[in-house]
């Protein structure tokens, strides 16, 4: 119920000597995983070397999961080289980590500080094991050890310098630790990172539990207009309406889409699929919004934590960038990171994924069954005792003697009065 067939957005990311039929492309998303899902260990097991060899030795879960952001990726594609008759299957695994400089204590950093330990050599099965460090804006830092070489890549009008470290040339058995320390004579610098040519934001607007809007903002910081395609894969329990789709500039002017593909969803069968293509003016922001309704689900369709809400998958913003600023993607006809050096192209195809949304649908009071169970158990517990006593015990009537006077009681205690017949009392107790 969450798979769609993209028409404009997703393109085959493999290189083939024969024409490719894109009608076989499918797209699906899993916006949220259940609690306590651990993906690092299965991801490590896909690599040929052990956990303590090569770059894999740096992936310590205690340091990976404490970063501000981390992601694991597996990219699989099939290649058909022109020189061979067979097909090649390529598997690429990626790790992205984001650290906070304030928590690290400043601009100084090291591999040991980031990952908790140094690099213990290279993987014996690897043909190449190198570290490429971007030193374009690092003139105020000293690196230890010094790089073996520095490579300058000119790509799409942008010059980038990389320091190269070959791990296979390091002494076996010795931990490799790369560190960057600010120069003593350098002045404190504030890192100013220029924004990418294209980025996007996504959020939900609306008041109440009846209607809402899904808003996606696409920002173009480039000096020329861009051809942009936005894809939305919306679950079936969020019904959207195509006639409410709007593309609006900051001044309120509407933009007419150049192409629209919309496949309505079906409840519990098919998701809503929307692809919108338009021209994004230079140095401006376009707000794309579409209205939806809140609906009621069956009580079995709510997640375990129903009041937490439902996650909606991220949208995809695809475009061809004329420049390679903030772009480090490997070309389609390449496989390694070094293949991106000096790889200028007429355009650079990028796919930007927005944030996943958290939507709170109308939720029934799931505490009511609990309250009913507690009340029923309390009533049964209070009623069980008296009913059990009444149904299991016999009621015996004992004749009550006339009360004696105080004088007669004293005489009986002193032995002057008539004595009680104990045999009658014993026979009465036996009869009971």
Alpha-carbon distance of 197 to 323, in angstroms, equals 8
SS3 state of residue 109: strand
Burial status of residue 431 (CB atoms within 10 A of its CB: 0-12, 13-18, 19 or more):
exposed
Backbone phi and psi for residue 45, each to the nearest 5 degrees, phi listed first: -70, -15
The domain made up of 198-361 has a fold known as Immunoglobulin-like (2.60.40)
Closest by Cα among 178, 104, 185, 112 to 145: 178
Which are the contacts of 167, defined by CB distance < 8 A and separation ≥ 6?
54, 119, 121, 122, 129, 130, 131, 176
Q: Pick from 341, 347, 290: which is nearest to 318 by CA?
A: 347
Find out whether 119 and 177 touch, Cβ atoms under 8 Å. yes
d(CA 153, CA 307): 51
Q: Give yes or no for a contact between 2 and 28, defined as CB atoms under 8 angstroms apart.
A: yes
CA distance 273 to 265: 7
Return the pLDDT at 428.
45
Closest listed residue to residue 327, CA positions, set 355, 308, 352, 361: 352
Residue whose pair of structure tokens reads 């009580």 in the numeric block: 299
CA distance 272 to 278: 20
DSSP secondary structure code for residue 371 in this structure: H
- Whose tokens are 């651990």? That residue is 38
Pairwise CA distance, residues 385 & 393, whole Å: 12
Half-sphere exposure (Cβ direction) of 210: Cα atoms closer than 13 Å: 2
Separation of CA 202 from chain center: 15
Contacts of 264 (CB under 8 A, 6+ apart): 242, 272
DSSP state of 369: H
For residue 397, give both structure tokens. Answer: 């009537």
Write out the two tokens for 275: 């692809």
**Can you name the residues that pair with 248 across neighbouring β-strands?**
254, 287
Q: pLDDT tens, position by position, for the chain (432 residues)?
A: 788 888 888 876 665 555 666 677 888 888 887 656 678 888 888 888 877 788 888 888 888 888 888 888 888 887 776 666 677 888 899 999 998 888 887 788 999 999 988 888 888 888 889 999 999 888 888 899 999 899 999 988 888 899 999 988 887 778 889 999 888 777 766 667 778 899 999 999 988 888 999 999 999 999 999 999 999 999 999 999 999 999 999 999 999 999 999 999 999 899 999 999 999 999 999 999 999 999 989 888 888 888 888 999 999 999 989 888 888 888 877 888 888 888 888 888 899 999 999 998 888 888 777 788 888 888 888 888 888 887 887 777 777 776 767 777 777 777 766 655 554 444 444 444
Per-residue burial over 348-377, b if 16 or more Cβ lie within 10 Å, else e, is: bebebebeebebebebeeeeeeeeeeeeee
Q: How high is the pLDDT of residue 429?
A: 43
Residue 385: per-residue pLDDT? 81
State the CB neighbour count (10 A cutoff) for residue 130.
17
What contacts 11, CB < 8 A, 6 or more positions away?
22, 25, 349
Beta bridge partners of 70: 97
pLDDT at 395: 74
pLDDT at residue number 253? 92
Q: How far apart are the first and last CA of the chain?
A: 75
Q: Please check whether residue 231 is in contact with residue 202, taking contact to mean a CB–CB distance below 8 angstroms.
A: no
Report pLDDT for 151: 92
Phi first, then psi: give them for residue 333, nearest 5 degrees: -85, 10
What predicted TM-score, i.e. pTM, was given to this entire model? 0.78
Q: Yes or no: say if 317 and 230 are a contact pair by the CB < 8 Å rule.
A: yes
pLDDT digits (tens, 9 = 90+) for 180-224: 988 877 776 666 777 889 999 999 998 888 899 999 999 999 999
In the structure encoding, which two tokens stand for residue 199, read together?
A: 């980025």
Task: Locate the domains of the chain by residue range.
Answer: 31-182, 198-361, 366-392
């Amino acid at each position: 119920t969450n798979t769609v067939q993209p028409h404009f957005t997703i393109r085959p990311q493999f290189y083939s000597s024969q024409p490719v039929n894109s009608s076989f492309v499918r797209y699906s998303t899993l916006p949220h995983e259940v609690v306590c899902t651990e993906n690092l260990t299965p991801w490590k097991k896909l690599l040929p070397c052990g956990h303590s060899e090569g770059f894999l030795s740096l992936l310590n879960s205690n340091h990976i999961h404490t970063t501000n952001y981390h992601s694991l990726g597996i990219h699989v594609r099939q290649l058909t080289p022109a020189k061979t008759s067979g097909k090649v299957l390529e598997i690429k695994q990626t790790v992205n980590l984001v650290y906070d400089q304030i928590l690290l204590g400043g601009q100084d950093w090291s591999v040991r500080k980031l990952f908790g330990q140094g690099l213990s050599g290279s993987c014996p099965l690897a043909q190449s094991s190198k570290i490429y460090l971007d030193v374009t804006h690092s003139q105020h830092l000293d690196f230890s050890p010094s790089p073996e070489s520095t490579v300058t890549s000119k790509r799409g009008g942008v010059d980038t310098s990389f320091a190269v470290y070959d791990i296979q040339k390091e002494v076996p058995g010795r931990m490799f630790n790369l560190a960057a320390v600010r120069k003593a004579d350098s002045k404190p610098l504030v890192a100013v990172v220029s924004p990418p040519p294209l980025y996007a934001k996504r959020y939900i607007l609306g008041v109440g539990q009846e209607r809402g809007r899904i808003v996606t903002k696409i920002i173009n910081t480039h000096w020329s207009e861009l051809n942009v395609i936005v894809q939305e894969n919306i679950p079936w329990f969020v019904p959207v309406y195509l006639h409410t789709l709007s593309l609006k500039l900051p001044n309120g002017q509407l933009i007419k889409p150049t192409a629209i593909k919309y496949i309505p969803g079906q409840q519990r069968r098919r998701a809503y699929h929307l692809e919108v293509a338009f021209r994004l003016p230079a140095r401006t922001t376009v707000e794309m919004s579409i209205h939806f309704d809140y609906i009621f689900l069956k009580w079995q369709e709510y997640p375990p934590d129903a009041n937490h809400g439902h996650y909606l998958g991220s949208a995809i913003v695809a475009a061809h960038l004329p420049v390679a600023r903030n772009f480090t993607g490997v070309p389609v006809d390449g496989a390694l990171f070094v293949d991106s050096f000096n790889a200028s192209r007429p355009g650079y195809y990028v796919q930007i994924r927005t944030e996943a949304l958290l939507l709170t649908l109308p939720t029934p009071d799931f505490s009511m069954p609990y309250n009913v169970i507690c009340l029923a158990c309390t009533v049964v517990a209070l009623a069980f005792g008296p009913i059990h006593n009444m149904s299991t015990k016999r009621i015996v009537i004992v004749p009550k003697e006339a009360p004696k006077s105080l004088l007669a009681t004293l005489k009986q205690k002193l032995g002057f009065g008539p004595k009680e017949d104990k045999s009658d009392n014993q026979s009465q107790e036996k009869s009971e």
